[in-house]
Structure 1
Amino acid sequence: MRWLSLAFIFLYIISFAIGPGPIPFVIVPELWAQGPRPSAMSISVQVNWWCNFVVGLTFQFIQSGIGAYTFLVYMAFLILSTIFIFFFVPETKNRTFEDISSSFGKKHEVNQNEYELQGSNKRDQL
């Protein structure tokens, strides 16, 4: 039974490594330039580790509370994460780094001409 248990642990590690495990290490280099990349990588790895810690910490308590429906709690977080990724993480396929980084600023981009016009209107009112 020891060897079977060890084999399943290795199978889990291999499955996680070819599945969702490396996502923080793959998405960060695609979205960030060389300058802020180390900081972004640090933050993404910290979030990954903290999420793993929270799952490990809460699983036993949730399982003792709701039994077989424990995974529904984590599935709800997975659905929320999927919705967030769908709406806020840009597609990087066949796009240059400049295209990707410029897509982050489009939502909050301030048109300089409009800003200067508003400033001159306020000065005229004074």
Structure 2
Amino acid sequence: PLVPDLRFLQVVVVFRVISAYEVGPGPISWFIAAELFDQPGRPIAMVFASLLSWGGKFLLALTFPPLLKLWGGYVYLLFMAVALTALWVTWFRMPETRGRSFDDIAEEFRGAEALPLQNNGDFNTFK
């Protein structure tokens, strides 16, 4: 073969991908649940975030090998689509929470009937 045995490198790359996920987008669901729910609702939000996180990892581990066999390298396009969808939701639907109280954020959700979120001028995100 043109390329020597790269099993060791494959293990290193998988380790790096998992590490990058765990310090990057992995814990975001915990931060969202902590910032967007009040104290009485926070425990159930954390349980739901954990359920979605671990459930997603389980489904990924279960479905990746058959999808890789079926689609080959094109299976990564599916992951790219999921990542782009998550980026869109984060960029356009999540409110900025820096410098705001929980009540202010909750009020924005109550009055946001599919309207774009906008700065009402009472806080500066660049402070």
Give your verdict on TM over 0.5.
Answer: yes
2:48 corresponds to: 43
**Whole-Å Cα distance in 2 between the matches of residues 93 and 68 of structure 1?**
40
The reply to whether residue 17 of structure 1 matches residue 18 of structure 2 is: no
Deviation, structure 1 residue 91: 1.4
1:26 corresponds to: 31
**Whole-Å Cα distance in 1 between the matches of residues 79 and 10 of structure 2?**
24
The reply to whether residue 82 of structure 1 matches residue 87 of structure 2 is: yes
Tell me, which stretches of 5 or more residues in structure 1 are unaligned? 109-126
**Whole-Å Cα distance in 1 between the matches of residues 83 and 13 of structure 2?**
24
Amino acid at match of 1:35: P
Kindly report which structure 2 residues correspond to 1:1-126, keeping only aligned pairs within 5 A, or say none. Answer: 11-108=16-113
Amino acid at match of 1:89: M
Stretches (4+) displaced over 3 A: 1-14
**Whole-Å Cα distance in 1 between the matches of residues 71 and 52 of structure 2?**
26
Match of 2:29, SS state, is helix
Normalised by the length of structure 1, the TM-score is 0.71
Give the aligned length: 108
**Whole-Å Cα distance in 1 between the matches of residues 18 and 65 of structure 2?**
20
Match of 2:49, SS state, is helix
**Whole-Å Cα distance in 2 between the matches of residues 73 and 90 of structure 1?**
27
Cα RMSD of the aligned pairs, angstroms, is: 2.4
Q: Comparing both structures, which one devotes a greater share of its residues to helix? A: 1
CA deviation string 1:27-54 (max 9, x = no partner): 1111000000001111111011111111
**Whole-Å Cα distance in 2 between the matches of residues 9 and 84 of structure 1?**
27
Which is worse superposed, 14-23 or 3-12? 3-12
2:121 corresponds to: none
Q: Structure 1 residues 85, 2: CA separation in 2 closer, same or farther (over 3 Å shift)?
A: closer
**Whole-Å Cα distance in 2 between the matches of residues 107 and 35 of structure 1?**
22
Which is worse superposed, 27-36 or 86-95? 86-95
Higher-Rg structure is: 1
Deviation, structure 1 residue 14: 3.5
